[in-house]
């Protein structure tokens, strides 16, 4: 089956989600945008800017010689860590009690999005160099991997962005498994990290409130459980085919973060179960195409690069959908291609460019294989 799946399917899934994104963002954000900026189209135009920049990034990254990408992994990772650290400096911008943004030259950047690409490129470079030794996990292999993931995750915890730190850790674990690490070793790492994760999850009042709201949102319907309950109401109001695009009510100040983290709830209200199913099936098709392309990669590095870039999209989409449906605690994770956010959209399309690069036929040049 996977032999019949490839680049056309990846492009079709990306085009569908990318085309739907601006419509959904406008519908979910128009009222909020009008209240904040006096215009209902501010978020829409920003999203279209992100779409244009993302398409440019995808085209460029799909054409860059693979050997250049192989050499740039650690460099991009380092740049991303520096930008993450700047969020804790005077250049960091605080929103909703967290410093997740950096303002450089009047442009707002979310370093976590760059970190995701840095982790894809950095881990692909490092794990391909390690080779079969990954199955033994000697200290010389474990320490760089722990630092490579632990340093950015630690900075995220201090922002604070506990959900982002968990996402990076989960991403690294899945990519390690793809690289050939023994499941028993990964399980041992997970068990060792569990006390730290539990301690951090329960060590702050707002995180503990999120856990309690996840377990029983109706125990505090006007407090910690409010957002999730409103998400349930949005899905329930949509029924099978929704109220119609633009006709939803939850975005009118009822559902917090309606145009970002909980945009799938708005899709559920306005396009119904049918619309949600189309989006989830399209994400599944994207995942299948990325796995198929990775499986046909010409070498270990290309396999890990395509796997990591695809994982960056579908794992984040899976987590976001689970949060909006009450299957996971709130993490602040956006839905790729659909949630508002220029940084997120550019990163998602850049990841598509990396997968397309791996899918390109190998050509012989003057300096050898590309």
What's the pLDDT score for residue 148? 87
pLDDT in tens, 237-294: 999 999 999 999 999 989 988 999 999 999 999 999 999 999 999 999 999 999 999 9
pLDDT in tens, 307-332: 999 999 999 999 999 999 999 988 88
Average pLDDT, the chain: 89
Least confident piece of the model among 136-150, 187-201, 305-319: 136-150
CB proximity list for 235: less than 8 A, separation 6 or greater? 265, 268, 269, 276, 324, 325
pLDDT (average), residues 115-131:
91
Give, rounded to a whole angstrom, the gap between the first and last alpha carbons of the chain: 28
pLDDT at 366: 43
Mean pLDDT score, 40-63: 96
69: pLDDT confidence band, cut at 50, 70 and 90? very high
| Three-class SS of 195-251 | HHHHHHHHCCHHHHHHHHHHHCHHHCCCCCCHHHHHHHHHHHHHCCCCCCCCCCCCC
Confidence at residue 196, expressed as pLDDT on a 0 to 100 scale: 85
Is there a contact between 58 and 73 (Cβ–Cβ < 8 Å)?
A: no
Cis peptide before 160 (omega within 30 of 0): yes
64 token code pair: 């860059």
367 has a pLDDT exceeding 50: no
Confidence band (pLDDT; 50, 70, 90) for 3?
low
- Which pLDDT tens digit goes with each residue over 207-230? 888 888 888 898 888 888 899 999
Measured distance CA(68)–CA(305) in Å, rounded:
13
Q: How far, in Å, are 262, 315, 319 from residue 292 at the CA level?
A: 30, 16, 22
The whole-number pLDDT of residue 138 equals 65
pTM above 0.85, yes or no: yes
Using pLDDT thresholds of 50, 70 and 90, give the confidence band for residue 197: confident
d(CA 6, CA 122) in angstroms, rounded, equals 25
Highest mean pLDDT among 11-15, 125-129, 173-177: 11-15
d(CA 330, CA 171): 17
Dist. CA 172–CA 145, nearest whole Å: 9
Report the pLDDT value the prediction gives residue 231, as an integer from 0 to 100.
95
Residues with Cβ within 8 Å of residue 83, at least 6 apart in sequence = 102, 109, 111, 114, 115
pLDDT at 121 over 80: yes
Residue 35 Cα distances to 30, 257, 274, 342, 363, angstroms? 9, 14, 31, 20, 54
């Amino acid at each position: 089956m996977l032999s019949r799946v490839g680049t056309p399917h990846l492009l079709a899934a990306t085009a569908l989600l990318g085309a739907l994104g601006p419509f959904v963002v406008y519908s979910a954000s128009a009222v909020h945008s009008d209240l904040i900026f006096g215009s209902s189209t501010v978020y829409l135009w920003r999203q279209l800017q992100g779409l244009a920049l993302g398409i440019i990034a995808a085209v460029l990254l799909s054409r860059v010689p693979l050997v250049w990408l192989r050499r740039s992994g650690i460099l991009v990772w380092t740049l991303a860590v520096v930008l993450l650290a700047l969020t804790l400096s005077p250049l960091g911008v605080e929103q909703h009690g967290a410093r997740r943004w950096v303002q450089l030259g009047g442009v707002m950047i979310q370093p976590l999005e760059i970190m995701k690409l840095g982790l894809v490129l950095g881990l692909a470079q490092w794990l391909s160099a390690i080779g079969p030794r990954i199955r033994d996990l000697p200290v010389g292999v474990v320490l760089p991997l722990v630092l490579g993931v632990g340093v950015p995750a630690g900075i995220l915890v201090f922002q604070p962005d506990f959900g982002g730190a968990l996402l990076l850790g989960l991403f690294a674990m899945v990519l390690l498994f793809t690289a050939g690490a023994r499941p028993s070793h990964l399980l041992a790492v997970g068990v060792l990290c569990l006390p730290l994760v539990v301690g951090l999850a329960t060590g702050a009042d707002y995180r503990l409130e999120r856990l309690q709201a996840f377990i029983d949102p109706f125990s505090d319907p006007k407090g910690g459980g409010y957002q999730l309950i409103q998400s349930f109401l949005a899905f329930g109001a949509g029924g099978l085919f929704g109220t119609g695009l633009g006709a939803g009510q939850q975005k009118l100040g009822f559902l917090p973060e309606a145009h970002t983290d909980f945009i799938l709830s708005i899709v559920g209200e306005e396009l119904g179960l049918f619309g949600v199913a189309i989006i989830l099936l399209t994400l599944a098709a994207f995942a299948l195409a990325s796995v198929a392309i990775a499986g046909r990669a010409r070498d270990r590095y290309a396999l890990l690069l395509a796997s990591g870039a695809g994982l960056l999209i579908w794992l984040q989409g899976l987590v976001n959908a689970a949060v909006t449906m009450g299957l996971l605690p709130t993490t602040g994770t956006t839905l790729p291609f659909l949630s508002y956010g220029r940084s997120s959209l550019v990163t998602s399309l850049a990841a598509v460019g990396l997968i397309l690069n791996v899918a390109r036929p190998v050509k012989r040049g003057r300096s050898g294989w590309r």
